[in-house]
Amino acid sequence: MRSPKDFFRPLAVGAPDPVRQIPQRPSRMIHFFDPGNEKMAAKVPDLATKADVLLGNLEDAVAADRKEIARAGLVRVAREADLGDTQLWTRVNSLDSPWALDDLITLVTEVGDKLDVIMVPKVEGPEDIHYVDRLLAQLEARAGLRRPLLVHAILETASGVANVEAIALASPRMQGISLGPADLAASRRMKTTRVGGGHPGYLVRSDPTGDDLNEGRLTYQQDLWHYTVARMVDACAEAGILPYYGPFGDIRDTVGCEDQFRNAYLLGCVGAWSLHPAQIAIARKVFSPSPEEVAWARRVIAEMGDGTGAVMIDGKMQDDATVKQCQVIASLADDLAARDPELAAAYGSVSA
Ligand SMILES: CC(C)(COP(=O)(O)OP(=O)(O)OC[C@H]1O[C@@H](n2cnc3c(N)ncnc32)[C@H](O)[C@@H]1OP(=O)(O)O)[C@@H](O)C(=O)NCCC(=O)NCCSC(=O)C[C@](C)(O)C(=O)O
Ligand SMILES: [Mg+2]
């Protein structure tokens, strides 16, 4: 464990200074593509006009015999594609795999200046982040990079969840954490066979109304991911980094996907993954506050003056704490409006 005094010192001679604040650029959807799949890679310039983040995936979902092809494809995309101000991230292979070291060496030394964030899968504890932290510093120095790469951890092992607070605080490079529900389910020995989402068997039932235990009893499906997402959100907020819901594997179920994303949004997540182009619009809808929410937030802020005391607005008490919640919505709206002209018009046109 480094001394707090040394926390912001570069970990290699010649490496750039670590950032002191994580950039809050919009990242409502992290869109996954396989850079070794020519059809997908060809869609990148168009997807860059729709998604906040494009992520070249090198890990799971890329077959073992396609790993080098995917890595080379990402180098090509990073060099050649015009992404405008859309971020380019990658997910490298897990640290215990035969590919992780070459993923990091190749990407940082060849296209490190084009990448914003490196997502590290199957993080077990802060020691995994420390390893990546030092290696990235060495590679940044070798490549002469002026801007440090940021690191994103996937929360997808039971040990990772047990250590999530330490992972979030492990390095000034830590940009955020995503839930990885599929590997996490396997690691915990959960009895699901899905990628995220709920399960009809995980429910609570209302009390019996008479002798017949089956009669008139309502059931309510519960959210399998509530505990983990809530804990991840707290760990990220404490560390000043960003939490994300991960993937929703039932591509056809756009309604269930929207609900799962919205639960994460309401709990504090800033975005989710999209695995298919159809999920980009769902994440954009969910992770952008509605014009009505924004108008209400601005109204409360305006009526609260210096932000202290208590007032009544439309029958609801507002005070120092509600104004802070409204500031979260209003500042998110400002950040999104700066990137998205359609939202800028929608937010500007609703009178406060
Ligand atoms: C599900 C699949 C196989 C269906 O792919 P498909 O081709 O069968 O679907 P489609 O509906 O027929 O596709 C229509 C068109 O869209 C294209 N397309 C389709 N998807 C994409 C995409 N993502 N980006 C760009 N283009 C895409 C596709 O190539 C096709 O192009 P065409 O019209 O020219 O023929 C495909 O969407 C896919 O491979 N998606 C990404 C999967 C992935 O990255 N999985 C790993 C992340 S989840 C995970 O790792 C778990 C986690 C966190 O680790 C843990 O919980 O543990
Ligand atoms: Mg996984």
- For the stretch 324-342, pLDDT in tens is 999 999 999 999 999 999 9
173 in the same domain as 78: yes
Kindly give the distance from the C-alpha atom of residue 153 to the centroid of ligand 1, in angstroms, as a whole number.
21
- Is the ipTM higher than 0.95? The answer is yes
280 in the same domain as 301: no
329 in the same domain as 258: no
Which among 242, 272, 287 is the end of a domain?
287
Number of C-beta neighbours around residue 195 at 10 A: 18
Query: Which residue from 38, 156, 275, 282 has its CB within 8 A of the most atoms of ligand 1, so it is best to mutate?
Result: 275
Q: What is the mean pLDDT of residues 146-173?
A: 98
Q: Please name the residue ranges forming H helices in the chain.
A: 38-42, 44-47, 67-80, 100-111, 126-143, 158-162, 164-168, 181-188, 226-239, 254-267, 278-286, 291-303, 320-339, 341-349
158 in the same domain as 300: no
CB 277 near ligand 1, within 6 Å: yes
Query: Does residue 15 register a pLDDT over 50?
Result: yes
Kindly give the distance from the C-alpha atom of residue 195 to the centroid of ligand 2, in angstroms, as a whole number.
9
Domain count, the chain: 2
- For the stretch 51-103, pLDDT in tens is 999 999 999 999 999 999 999 999 999 999 999 999 999 999 999 999 999 99
- For the stretch 162-218, pLDDT in tens is 999 999 999 999 999 999 999 999 999 999 999 999 999 999 999 999 999 999 999
Which among 266, 287, 308 is the end of a domain?
287
pLDDT tier for residue 349 given thresholds of 50, 70 and 90 = low
pLDDT for 351 equals 41
Q: Is 91 annotated as a binding residue?
A: yes
Q: What is the mean pLDDT of residues 242-257?
A: 98
Query: Which CATH number belongs to the domain containing residue 144 in this structure?
Result: 3.20.20.60
CB 182 near ligand 1, within 6 Å: yes
Pair 123, 155: CB distance under 8 Å: yes
And the tokens for 232? Answer: 């991840």
pLDDT tier for residue 2 given thresholds of 50, 70 and 90 = confident
Q: Which domain holds residue 200?
A: 4-287
328 in the same domain as 187: no
CB 300 near ligand 1, within 6 Å: no
Query: Does residue 29 register a pLDDT over 80?
Result: yes
pLDDT for 10 equals 96
307 in the same domain as 160: no
And the tokens for 77? Answer: 């995309």
The span from the CA of 352 to the CA of 325, in Å, is: 16
311 in the same domain as 279: no
125 in the same domain as 223: yes
Which among 287, 319, 337 is the end of a domain?
287
97 in the same domain as 61: yes
Residue 212 parent element (H or E): none
Kindly give the distance from the C-alpha atom of residue 331 to the centroid of ligand 2, in angstroms, as a whole number.
32
pLDDT for 174 equals 98
pLDDT for 206 equals 97
The span from the CA of 324 to the CA of 312, in Å, is: 16
pLDDT, mean over the chain: 96
282 in the same domain as 247: yes
282 in the same domain as 323: no
106 in the same domain as 238: yes
Query: Of all residues in the chain, what percent carry a pLDDT higher than 90?
Result: 97
Assign 3-state DSSP to the chain and report helix, strand, coil percentages, each to 5.
Answer: 45, 15, 40
Q: What is the mean pLDDT of residues 233-250?
A: 98
Residue 174 parent element (H or E): strand 174-179
